[in-house]
Chain A
Amino acid sequence: MRTCLPILLLLATVVLVQQLTQWTGTPFYLTQLTMAGYYSLLIIGLCLVMGYAGQISLGHAGFFAIGGYLSAMLTTRNLLAYQDHQLVALADRLGLLMGRHDFFGNEILALHPWPAALVAITTAIVVSFLIGVPVLKLKGHYLAMATLGFGIIIYRLVLGTPIFGEADGISEVPGFPLLAGLSVSGDFGSRVSNYYIAWGMVIIAMLLLLNLINSRVGRALRAIHGAEDAANAMGVDTARYKLRTFILSAVMAALAGVFLTHYSAGIGPSEAGVMQSVRYVAIVAVGGMANLWGALIMGVVLNFMSLRGMFGSYDDAVFGAILIAMMLFAPQGLLRLALLARIKNLLTGKKDGAA
């Protein structure tokens, strides 16, 4: 199968990188690699929307924020004072609440991360549906502006709402106990396991999306991208396909938001900002638009460099420059340039560069 080998290679690389950091005594790199992994989750989802379905979204940071902020807010909001309220009592009895002590030893009773994540993801689905139905009817500049507008609305809402911490964001978000003994958190002790949780999710997501684009659905999406009216005339319900893709990518963005927030124990408004959305678009563009591997590789590399502060105070400028350079000189993406095309073909085992 053509997706199996590259996925195994990815798995091997992930393990190798972890081993390398151990041998060289640089396990601190794992922190940024884990975060880059979660961002990549969003980026490959966006790649599906932009590269395959051909719809630009300048608002994906908004979905990330919906995931991150909702789970942060729900798991930090202390319900101790409302303990006797019927709803809270009911939730407690159902095991939906989690008690703990904060930094100063105060008792906190808040929603358990599982139901919180569920609420966050469901919200992302509902919002992406409500926004997607009208927005995806638009094209070109109108689509770009509408998604940008959506992103800024989310940004303004988190920035202006006290329960979302306004300019400070939300901190002291608890870890996310996934299974017994396995928890998404920034504890030093669980750095390795968290690296594997993040990258496990990325590998699974890559596998699912690669399967998808090589299926009937992926074919229909590429047809929509290439000639929407001709796809429609062949019986493809173009509106529904675009919407489903959009929702799928919103869910992936929200998932990334939920997990990254628990991992870094907090979230701030910059995660919801326009610049963040633009970054994601830049990375998908550098990766070659319709190229999940390109998006993944670029997502990890650029996010890792950015998170390690390699771009210094020129962080945004670097992404701006990347965007322009890509669109001016290689609108098909770096991995489409002649030299790299061969390497890519070797990796994916495809004879034709036109994926």
Chain B
Amino acid sequence: MALLEINQLNRRFGGLQAISEVSFAVEPGIIKAVIGPNGAGKTTLFNLIAGSLPPSSGTIRFRNEVISGLQPFQIARRGISRTYQNIKLYPGMTALENVMIGRHIQSRTGFIAGMLHLPWTRREEAQVREHCLGLLEMLEIADLAEVEATSLAFGQQRAVELARALAMEPQLLLLDEPAAGLNIYETAEVGRLISKINSQGITVLLVEHDMSLVMDISHEIVVLSFGRKIAEDLPLQIQQNPEVIKIYLGEEEKEDAQG
């Protein structure tokens, strides 16, 4: 049974059909990539899955439950977490505090307990801190824990965002261009990291422009163009798909012309 099922999804922005009749499923335990040229609707798709945008029509099911129409926090509580293409960290908070927000739904201190600073909330807070420091360590930024997150270098901010998403212990992780702006070494590192995360049982849905990364680590690929799904297959097949080649050759020709 699929973990995530997307069924005839549509999303319009005024006259623009950003997502058009898109359907596909994500099996549990895999890394699935969503690729497509700029403006294809990949980020919009993520926003629809995470509930940041309501769909114009169509349904999204997660573990057999319809989640389209729910609020983002409700979807997060069902086990979907995400990172953003243009990083969204909380300004004025340290890297560690940012990651600790990721533990929000795993902890339960409320207004009363928080005000009274009860012993169990102290213990809970210590556990949350411990867990998040562990994540920062895994991402090799533990030394930056107390630095204001938005003042970090770009790659480090990406890492903080990833740690925040992982802190939720999601079943499905949505990564929107995790390697954008990184050099080849860092990109390779991110690839290894995603595989490692996946090997721990977290299903990954990945948007990425770096084709070598996508081909390296993903098990299945969906291709979007102008809001439509034009292919869905294994990486090797996608590389030979004439329609996909046409889109990407078109892209390269454009880039050549610019260069």
B-binding residues in A (CB < 8 A): 208-209, 211-212, 215-220, 222-223, 225-227, 229-238, 244, 248, 290, 351-352, 354-355
Contact residues on B (Cβ < 8 Å of other chain), bracket: 35 or more
Would you call B97 and A208 a contact (CB within 8 A)? no
| Chain A residues positioned under 8 Å from B77 (CB to CB) | 235
| Chain A residues positioned under 8 Å from B110 (CB to CB) | 217
Per-residue interface assignment for chain B, residues 5 to 24, with 1 indicating a CB less than 8 Å from any chain A CB and 0 otherwise: 00000000000000000000
Question: Which of B93, B105, B113 neighbours the largest number of chain A CB atoms within 10 Å of its CB?
Answer: B93
| Chain A residues positioned under 8 Å from B100 (CB to CB) | 216, 219
Q: Is B82 an interface residue (CB 8 A)?
A: yes
Instruction: Beyond A215-B109, A225-B92, list 7 extra A-B contacts (CB 8 Å).
Output: A212-B111, A216-B104, A222-B93, A230-B89, A233-B76, A234-B76, A248-B111
| Chain A residues positioned under 8 Å from B107 (CB to CB) | 216
| Chain A residues positioned under 8 Å from B91 (CB to CB) | 226-227
| Chain A residues positioned under 8 Å from B84 (CB to CB) | 230
Would you call B76 and A235 a contact (CB within 8 A)? yes
> With the chains together, A220 CA to B51 CA distance in Å?
19
> With the chains together, A233 CA to B111 CA distance in Å?
21
| Chain A residues positioned under 8 Å from B89 (CB to CB) | 226-227, 230
Q: Which A residue sits closest to B150, measured CB to CB?
A: A226
Would you call A234 and B102 a contact (CB within 8 A)? yes
With A216-B128, A219-B93, A223-B90 already in contact, the answer to whether A208 and B115 are too (CB < 8 A) is yes
With A219-B101, A354-B92 already in contact, the answer to whether A233 and B115 are too (CB < 8 A) is no
Question: Which of A227, A233, A237, A290 neighbours the largest number of chain B CB atoms within 10 Å of its CB?
Answer: A233
| Chain B residues positioned under 8 Å from A209 (CB to CB) | 115
Q: How far is the CB of B213 from chain A (nearest CB, A)?
A: 24
> With the chains together, A290 CA to B91 CA distance in Å?
13
With A226-B93, A227-B88, A233-B52 already in contact, the answer to whether A211 and B101 are too (CB < 8 A) is no
Q: Is B250 an interface residue (CB 8 A)?
A: no
Q: Which B residue sits closest to A238, measured CB to CB?
A: B73
Interface residues of B in 38-93 (CB under 8 A from A): 50-52, 71-73, 76-77, 81-82, 84, 88-93
Would you call A351 and B101 a contact (CB within 8 A)? no
A-binding residues in B (CB < 8 A): 50-52, 71-73, 76-77, 81-82, 84, 88-94, 97-98, 100-102, 104-105, 107, 109-111, 113-117, 121, 124-125, 128, 146, 148, 164, 168
> With the chains together, A232 CA to B168 CA distance in Å?
13
Would you call A354 and B148 a contact (CB within 8 A)? yes
In terms of DSSP, what is the predominant structure of the interface of chain A? Answer: helix
Question: Which of B72, B84, B124 neighbours the largest number of chain A CB atoms within 10 Å of its CB?
Answer: B72
| Chain A residues positioned under 8 Å from B114 (CB to CB) | 211-212, 215-218
> With the chains together, A211 CA to B122 CA distance in Å?
11
Would you call A234 and B104 a contact (CB within 8 A)? yes
With A232-B73, A352-B146 already in contact, the answer to whether A222 and B121 are too (CB < 8 A) is no
Question: Which of B94, B109, B164 neighbours the largest number of chain A CB atoms within 10 Å of its CB?
Answer: B109
Would you call B101 and A231 a contact (CB within 8 A)? yes
Q: How far is the CB of A78 from chain B (nearest CB, A)?
A: 39
Would you call B117 and A211 a contact (CB within 8 A)? yes
* Complex A-B, nearest 5 residue pairs according to Cβ-Cβ distance, in ascending order: A215-B114, A226-B90, A235-B105, A235-B76, A230-B88
| Chain A residues positioned under 8 Å from B115 (CB to CB) | 208-209, 211-212, 215
| Chain B residues positioned under 8 Å from A208 (CB to CB) | 115-116
With A208-B115, A235-B168, A238-B73 already in contact, the answer to whether A215 and B121 are too (CB < 8 A) is yes
Would you call A234 and B101 a contact (CB within 8 A)? yes
Which of A233, A290, A354 meets B72, CB within 8 Å? Answer: A233
Which of A233, A238, A290, A354 meets B82, CB within 8 Å? Answer: A233
Q: 27 A-B Cβ contacts within 8 A? A: A211-B116, A212-B115, A216-B100, A216-B104, A216-B107, A216-B109, A216-B125, A217-B114, A218-B114, A219-B93, A219-B101, A223-B98, A223-B101, A225-B90, A225-B92, A226-B92, A229-B72, A232-B72, A232-B73, A233-B51, A233-B81, A234-B76, A235-B76, A235-B104, A235-B168, A236-B104, A352-B148
Q: How far is the CB of A54 from chain B (nearest CB, A)?
A: 10
Q: How far is the CB of A224 from chain B (nearest CB, A)?
A: 9
Q: How far is the CB of A238 from chain B (nearest CB, A)?
A: 7
Q: How far is the CB of B188 from chain A (nearest CB, A)?
A: 28
Q: How far is the CB of A160 from chain B (nearest CB, A)?
A: 36
> With the chains together, A238 CA to B90 CA distance in Å?
14
| Chain A residues positioned under 8 Å from B113 (CB to CB) | 215
Question: Which of A220, A227, A235, A352 neighbours the largest number of chain B CB atoms within 10 Å of its CB?
Answer: A235
Would you call A223 and B73 a contact (CB within 8 A)? no
Q: Which B residue sits closest to A220, measured CB to CB?
A: B104
> With the chains together, A231 CA to B84 CA distance in Å?
12
Q: How far is the CB of A343 from chain B (nearest CB, A)?
A: 20
Which of A220, A229, A244, A354 meets B101, CB within 8 Å? Answer: A220
With A211-B114, A220-B101, A352-B94 already in contact, the answer to whether A232 and B88 are too (CB < 8 A) is no
> With the chains together, A84 CA to B71 CA distance in Å?
55
| Chain A residues positioned under 8 Å from B164 (CB to CB) | 234
> With the chains together, A222 CA to B100 CA distance in Å?
12
| Chain B residues positioned under 8 Å from A233 (CB to CB) | 50-52, 72-73, 76, 81-82
| Chain B residues positioned under 8 Å from A223 (CB to CB) | 90, 93, 98, 101
| Chain B residues positioned under 8 Å from A351 (CB to CB) | 146
Question: Which of B50, B93, B101, B128 neighbours the largest number of chain A CB atoms within 10 Å of its CB?
Answer: B101
Q: How far is the CB of B9 from chain A (nearest CB, A)?
A: 19
> With the chains together, A309 CA to B190 CA distance in Å?
64
Q: Which A residue sits closest to B148, measured CB to CB?
A: A354
> With the chains together, A355 CA to B168 CA distance in Å?
24
